[in-house]
Amino acid sequence: MIRFFALFAIALMLTGARDPILVPEVSQHDIKVRQGFTGTELLLFGAILDPEGRAARKYDIVVVLKGPAEAIRVREKQKVAGIWINAESTAFQSAPSFFAVVSSKPISELVDEKTAAIYELGLDFVQFSPTGKIDPEEQARFSAGFNDMRKRAGLYKEDMSGVQISEQVLYQARISLPSNVQTGTYTAETFAITRGIVVASAVSEVEVRKVGFERLVEIFAQNWGLFYGLLAVALSVGMGWLAGRLFAMV
Amino acid sequence: MDVYLPIANLSVNGLVIVALGGLTGILSGLFGVGGGFLTTPLLIFYGIPPTVAAASATTQVTGASVSGMLAHRRRNGVDEKIGLVMVAGGTIGALIGAVLFRFFQSLGQIDVMINVLYVVMLGTIGTLMGREALQTIGAVKAGEKPRAMTRRHHPLVAALPYRWRFYRSGLYISPIAPLLLGVVVGILTMLMGVGGGFILIPAMLYILGMSATVVVGTSLFQILFVTMVTTMTHALTTKAVDIVLAGLLLLGSAAGAQIGSRLALKAKPEILRLVLAAIVLAVALRMAFGLGFQPDEIYTVVSL
């Protein structure tokens, strides 16, 4: 069975030889979050290879960088009896903790909405996998509100002219990660688009992880709550006492 | 100076946080309050997740109250007996608070609840304190002597059974009254991330009728122990204590508390109370605005 699929894949590659091949690369595959981390800028670059050897046709490039997904609940405040309280809510099974779309041209000029939705090209097309309420209008309202929040936090972004393509062969895009990114595996998907069709795509991964002291603190707080708490108390009592002694001497 | 906070998961300007700690430290030295009621909202405003802000502010208040309490203790300004009764109540309150926290979290109203508590508590205390301070200032200006207090403590307190003697406070009352006060403050500590000094001090003065010389010291004593319990509760349940954030706040507040206690010697107490009332009311109004007119965020997100 596996062999059959392998043969099938090779056959596809041979017959589809007219499609270009994307060779993506990322400036950093391993982002270390340690003391002094204030965010970082990722350079996503690569080449578009045309198998027929001639100068490549005109391609446009879209890069989508997605952070690890999380299950969340979004609540909406409404004014009830004079005060704003949480009213409606909806759950999203897989909301990416980070989402950035960078393209060489506005997405709407590259593909139609259906294609954009399939490949999640654009903030309007992030797939949150909502559960519970199914009313599409309400769903859209929550998605838009959530999108807007994440945009203001710098975690969701779009840049419609962020990809530079040189000589129809090389492309590069820059995406900055703010300091409040989640740790985990990020996937960067690169799409080559021509005449409204996605003709090639490639994925590369970026690992964001805490190291050193920051990692230690996180593990300590998560697994050794009692000792962590005692340490925090000791620290605060010690510092307060020390300050009292120091100032008493002045 | 950028500092990465490992539990809050973001990088902040360390100097801003130290300055914020210093500000609350000065308040704590001046007024005998922990200053948590100011730290927590300001941290949230700065972008720290609310739970982390509340938990770490509690840890900071511990440090701010240690040096103040020790200073008061040196001159016999702490009634440990009534303090321990209130600490016992505070511990019970912190545990009740943790249960309430979970309950409102499951209802999805915890942020609304915290805001309502802030508005109600700070609004009431600020108004009462401000009015009292203005009356005193008016009386001093008119050349009258401050009125002698007409009653020692609230009639309800006098009605409670099993009286104990609290010598330093000059009281012969039932321990149930300070115990209940401790419970109330403990609940608020857990829910609001505050030490509760701004409630304790007026309550000890006007409800229990404690002698004014031990009020600030005993309040700091109770705050010290209850915030310790609350820090532990947070460390074990929410796991939201950010030790780096707390450390930065402590750097500022430990120094600020000493500066504040020196300033307190020079200023007139009724002016101090008026200033504190104004700060408390300003925080309450800011919160009321978010609750009644326009919330900062229509949408809130919790992870499942």
Share of chain A above pLDDT 70, in %: 89
Which amino acid is it at A5? Answer: F
**Partner residue facing B2 (CB), from A36, A71, A84:** A36
CA A217 and chain centroid, separation: 25
pLDDT for residue B2 is more than 80: yes
**Partner residue facing B303 (CB), from A72, A148, A218:** A72
pLDDT for residue B235 is more than 70: yes
Give tens-digit pLDDT for A73-108: 888 888 888 888 888 888 888 899 999 999 998 988
DSSP A82: T
> Under an 8 A CB cutoff, do B258 and A179 touch?
no
Give the number of other CB atoms < 10 A from CB of residue A137. Answer: 6
Give tens-digit pLDDT for A49-67: 877 765 556 888 999 999 9
**Partner residue facing B6 (CB), from A148, A210, A232:** A210
> Under an 8 A CB cutoff, do B6 and A146 touch?
no
Give the number of other CB atoms < 10 A from CB of residue B60. Answer: 39
Q: How many CA atoms lie within 13 A of B49 on its CB side?
A: 20
Min distance A189 CA to chain B CA atoms (Å) = 25
* Residues B50, B52, B57: CA angle, nearest 5 degrees: 95
- In sequence order, the 6+-apart residues with CB closer than 8 A to the CB of A46 are A22, A23, A24, A25, A170, A171, A172, A190, A202
Q: Closest by alpha carbon to B233, among B101, B103, B107, B109?
A: B101
Tell me whether A77 touches chain B (CB under 8 Å).
yes
Give the number of other CB atoms < 10 A from CB of residue B7. Answer: 26
Give the number of other CB atoms < 10 A from CB of residue A165. Answer: 19
Chain B contact probe: residue of A80, A239, A241 with most B CBs at under 10 A: A239
Give tens-digit pLDDT for A143-161: 889 999 999 888 999 998 8
Q: What pLDDT does residue B247 have?
A: 92
Q: What proportions of chain A, in percent to the nearest 5, are helix, strand and coil?
A: 35, 40, 25
Contact of A62 with A110, CB cutoff 8 Å: yes
Query: Binning pLDDT at 50, 70 and 90, where does residue B205 land?
Result: confident
What is the DSSP annotation of B251-297? HHHHHHHHHHHHHHHHS-HHHHHHHHHHHHHHHHHHHHHHHHT--S-
Residues present in chain A in total: 250
Average pLDDT value for chain B: 83
Query: Binning pLDDT at 50, 70 and 90, where does residue B44 land?
Result: confident
Rounded to an integer, the average pLDDT of B116-138 is 86
Q: How many CA atoms lie within 13 A of A94 on its CB side?
A: 7
Q: Is the dihedral of CA A240, A242, A246, B1 positive or negative?
A: negative
Q: What pLDDT does residue B290 have?
A: 82
Rounded to an integer, the average pLDDT of A107-123 is 89
Average pLDDT value for chain A: 85
- In sequence order, the 6+-apart residues with CB closer than 8 A to the CB of B57 are B36, B39, B40, B43, B193, B194, B249
Whole-angstrom distance, CA of residue B61 vs CA of residue B93: 17
- CA A171 vs CA A117, A198, B28: distances in Å: 23, 16, 58
Tell me whether A133 touches chain B (CB under 8 Å).
no
Whole-angstrom distance, CA of residue B73 vs CA of residue B125: 26
Whole-angstrom distance, CA of residue A49 vs CA of residue A169: 7
Give the number of other CB atoms < 10 A from CB of residue A44. Answer: 25
Whole-angstrom distance, CA of residue B216 vs CA of residue B264: 12
Residue B115 token pair: 């805001």
> Under an 8 A CB cutoff, do A240 and B251 touch?
no
Rounded to an integer, the average pLDDT of A124-136 is 81
Measured between CA atoms, the residue of chain B closest to residue A244 is B67
Give tens-digit pLDDT for B245-303: 999 999 888 788 778 877 877 877 778 888 888 988 998 898 888 888 877 778 888 77
Q: What pLDDT does residue A10 have?
A: 53
Rounded to an integer, the average pLDDT of A112-140 is 85
Query: Binning pLDDT at 50, 70 and 90, where does residue B145 land?
Result: low
Tell me whether A71 touches chain B (CB under 8 Å).
yes
Q: What pLDDT does residue B300 have?
A: 82
Tell me whether B124 touches chain A (CB under 8 Å).
no
Share of chain B above pLDDT 70, in %: 94
Share of chain B above pLDDT 90, in %: 9
Q: What pLDDT does residue A5 have?
A: 56
Residue B34 token pair: 């922990």
**Strand runs labelled E in chain B:** 2-5, 10-13, 164-166, 171-173, 299-303
Question: Is residue B50 classed exposed, middle or buried when 0-12, 13-18 and 19+ CB atoms within 10 A define those classes?
Answer: middle
Q: Which residues of A touch B243 (CB under 8 A)?
A: 217, 221, 228, 231-232, 235
Q: What pLDDT does residue B128 have?
A: 86
Tell me whether B304 touches chain A (CB under 8 Å).
yes
Tell me whether B234 touches chain A (CB under 8 Å).
yes
Q: What pLDDT does residue B137 have?
A: 83
Question: Residue B300: beta bridge partners?
Answer: A75
Give tens-digit pLDDT for B103-122: 888 888 888 888 888 889 88
- CA B155 vs CA A72, B125, B163, B177: distances in Å: 51, 20, 14, 11
Rounded to an integer, the average pLDDT of B229-251 is 89
Q: What value of ipTM does the predicted structure carry? A: 0.83
pLDDT for residue A246 is more than 90: no
Query: Binning pLDDT at 50, 70 and 90, where does residue B65 land?
Result: confident
Measured between CA atoms, the residue of chain B closest to residue A177 is B10
Whole-angstrom distance, CA of residue B71 vs CA of residue B66: 9
Q: What does pTM read for this prediction?
A: 0.82
- In sequence order, the 6+-apart residues with CB closer than 8 A to the CB of B11 are A36, A37, A38, A39, A179, A180, B2, B3, B4, B5
Contact of B82 with B218, CB cutoff 8 Å: yes
- At B177 the three-state DSSP class reads helix
Question: Residue A84: beta bridge partners?
Answer: A79
Tell me whether A129 touches chain B (CB under 8 Å).
no
Query: Binning pLDDT at 50, 70 and 90, where does residue B147 land?
Result: low
Min distance B183 CA to chain A CA atoms (Å) = 21
Q: What pLDDT does residue A42 have?
A: 92
Which of B 145-204 lie inside 8 A of A, CB atoms? none
Rounded to an integer, the average pLDDT of A129-133 is 76
Q: How many CA atoms lie within 13 A of B219 on its CB side?
A: 30
Give the number of other CB atoms < 10 A from CB of residue A95. Answer: 26
pLDDT for residue A202 is more than 70: yes
Q: What proportions of chain B, in percent to the nearest 5, are helix, strand and coil?
A: 75, 5, 20
> Under an 8 A CB cutoff, do A91 and B297 touch?
no
Measured between CA atoms, the residue of chain A closest to residue B106 is A73
Q: Is the dihedral of CA B247, B249, B252, B257 positive or negative?
A: negative
Where is average pLDDT lowest: A84-88, A227-231, B102-106, B210-214? B210-214
- In sequence order, the 6+-apart residues with CB closer than 8 A to the CB of B108 are A73, A75, A86, A89, B302
